[in-house]
Structure 1
Amino acid sequence: MRKIVLQMMTTLNGRLDDLAAWVHDVVDDQYREIDRIYSTFDTVLVGRTTYEEMAAYWPRALAEHAGTETNQVMAERMNTYRKLVFSRSGDNPLTEWADTEQVIVATDDELVTYLENLKRQPGKDIHPRRGTLSHAVPARRVVRKRSGESALRARERADAPRPDSFTDMLA
């Protein structure tokens, strides 16, 4: 059975917010390590906002040969992954991008059922990308492996208000 694996960048003290404030440059050996981890995935789970950010960057990065060789490997990977974009309603059209599917889940139960069925399909592991989805999926107990466990605990202790359900968080 496939796993849903949460992988994210964090500081040693567990900071997850505002990447631009603390990630100034990702050097090639860091990209190689990220790529090694990403090579174990073939599907990414995203919300619409994260999807639109990815769709604006990765196809262009590949076409324009932007960045280092390692960045190009990552661009190839992002462009060939299966991308599942979660929404409550599906009312907002998505930017066209290869191998993208919009998944409409109106309730937390529908989300859990969808993800449990997805894990039973053949393929590599599944990665929820940053954003709303990466914080909501672990709370629904469908993630079996976590990278950056202490950072997640720090996020759980944050004073930020928490919605009653994942689907309340979807745009």
Structure 2
Amino acid sequence: MRKVFAGLFSSLDSVVEAPNEWQPAFDEEMGAALSRMLDQQDAVLLGRVTFTEWAGYWPAATDDPFASWINSTPKYVASSTLDSVDRWANSTLIKGSVADFVEELRRQEGGTIGVAGSPSLVRSLVDLGLLDELTLMISPVVAGGGRKRLFADDAALTKFELVEAQPTSSGALIATYRPAR
């Protein structure tokens, strides 16, 4: 059975929204961790917000290695408001239950299914018991109020096990967790 992995940039106060606005550095170790994650993935789950932002940028950014990868990789978009995802090649809109779709995708042959950005989708997958691994690249910064955190203040108790932790040259911490089951 295929696994679903997510990787997110996070601040010390658990902000995951718009890391380009608060993340002080992107270091070599973060790049290597992202490369390892992408090397295992052959499908990507995206939420509506991430899809909309990325579909406006990555298809035209052809000189970037990530652009080449993301543009050619099958993308599955979870959205109850989008009518179409045709503007970005290799994109499919998930119709019906996201849980049923992800469960079916996990049963198919292939590599890891990644979740790119999309913190709301990551939260949903955790709640549904469908996320197998979560990597947080925690920057040594407090991003402050008015931004979305990974989990809401009223989130249910969910236990995770630490799989690996690596400090980086910029002072960040790359921490990988699996839900305790």
1:101 aligns to 2:92 (yes or no): yes
Give the CA RMSD over aligned residues: 2.9
1:28: Cα distance to partner?
A: 5.2
1:118 aligns to 2:109 (yes or no): no
Q: Any conservation in 1 of the 2:7–2:137 contact (CA below 8 Å)?
A: no
Structure 2 counterpart SS, 1:26: coil
Q: Which has the higher helix share?
A: 1
Q: Any conservation in 2 of the 1:55–1:95 contact (CA below 8 Å)?
A: no
**Counterpart residue number, 2:153:** 159
Q: Which has the higher strand share?
A: 2
1:73 aligns to 2:65 (yes or no): yes
**Counterpart residue number, 2:121:** 133
Residues 108-142 of structure 1 show CA distances to partners (whole Å, capped at 9, x for unaligned) of xx222211111010111111222321221111111
**Counterpart residue number, 1:87:** 79
**Counterpart residue number, 1:39:** 39
After TM superposition, the structure 1 = structure 2 runs for residues 10-29 of structure 1, keeping only pairs within 5 Å, are 10-12=10-12, 14-27=14-27
Q: Any conservation in 2 of the 1:89–1:104 contact (CA below 8 Å)?
A: no
**Counterpart residue number, 1:30:** 30
1:14: Cα distance to partner?
A: 3.7
Structure 1 unpaired stretches of 5+: 66-71, 163-171
Question: CA 1:123–1:135 in structure 2 vs 1: closer, same or farther (change >3 Å)?
Answer: same
The percent of aligned pairs where both chains have the same amino acid is 23
1:8: Cα distance to partner?
A: 1.0
Give distance in 1, aligned partners of 2:104 and 2:127: 18
Question: CA 1:149–1:49 in structure 2 vs 1: closer, same or farther (change >3 Å)?
Answer: closer
Q: Any conservation in 1 of the 2:47–2:78 contact (CA below 8 Å)?
A: yes
Equivalent pairs, count: 146
**Counterpart residue number, 1:68:** none
Residues 71-121 of structure 1 show CA distances to partners (whole Å, capped at 9, x for unaligned) of x2211111111001122365x33352221111112xxxx222211111010
Task: Give TM-score, length-normalised by structure 1.
Answer: 0.71
1:49: Cα distance to partner?
A: 2.3
